[in-house]
Amino acid sequence: MGRAFEFRKARKMKRWSAMAKTFTRIGKEIVMAVKEGGPNPETNSRLRVVIQNAKAANMPKDNVARAIKKASDKDTANYKEVLFEGYAPHGIAVVVETATNNNNRTVANVRAAFNKCNGNLGTSGSVVFMFDHVVNFKVNEESLGMDLEEFEMEMIDFEVEEVFTDEEDNTIMLYAPFEKFGAIQGYLEENNIEIISSEFERIPTTTTKLEPEQQEEVEKLLERLEEDDDVNQVYHSMEM
């Protein structure tokens, strides 16, 4: 098991507990996908992925249908993806992914979170290089049509870095560079391998171990950021 496996295991220990937060994030992703490629998932690969993720998150079909219909309305504002970078206390690097329809509001909220929690909001490029941008796919093992070793060999051409079984639900996880997303999605769909979900993540290249009281200081910032409705994901270099 490699770095991606350990990263995923650590993040599982601290997921959003509020279902509404997850549904809000997926709703924004639907809007962005529809605005970019239209409301038909058969011709919009990005929308197909979001619908798969919505199903994996147990989002009701009616909610998905309403979100697609709303996104198709030309009067519905699109969301812009904005990345923020900075440092939490004790030199912990932080990357914040947001989706917003009001950039001024989001900037103000993120800056306030860093300031109030003794962090420092940095400039573009200040810490993002400390994280590997990757894509992961969760697929149904029964749909592979081959054993895991053979599947790993098939994935070599796509620069897949790790393939492993997620013991929580006996599915197969694979991690690859961010830019290989489209090629891998195409291969899986062409070979009728069921994609349960997929997502982009940022894995820290190195992590820093802190004392418990120091961890608590960092956690205050992370929690404040995650509570913001405009924030999709928060990544950091603190050892979990």
pTM value is 0.85
Task: Identify each DSSP E strand in the chain by its residue range.
Answer: 80-88, 92-100, 120-121, 131-139, 162-166, 171-177, 195-204, 231-236
- Residues β-bridged to residue 162: 175
Say what the pLDDT of residue 22 is. Answer: 82
For 189-199, the pLDDT digits (tens) are 999 999 998 98
Q: Which has the closest alpha carbon to 129: 222, 237, 223, 224?
A: 237
Residue ranges for the chain with pLDDT beneath 50: 13, 15-17
Say what the pLDDT of residue 5 is. Answer: 64
**Cβ atoms of 198 and 52 closer than 8 Å:** yes
Say what the pLDDT of residue 19 is. Answer: 55
List the domains of the chain with CATH numbers.
Answer: 15-72 (1.10.10.200), 80-122+207-236 (3.30.70.980), 130-203 (3.30.70.980)
Calculate the CA 176 to chain-centre distance: 13
Say what the pLDDT of residue 16 is. Answer: 44
Q: Residue 72: enclosing H or E segment and its boundaries?
A: helix 61-72
For 114-148, the pLDDT digits (tens) are 999 999 999 999 999 999 999 999 999 999 988 88
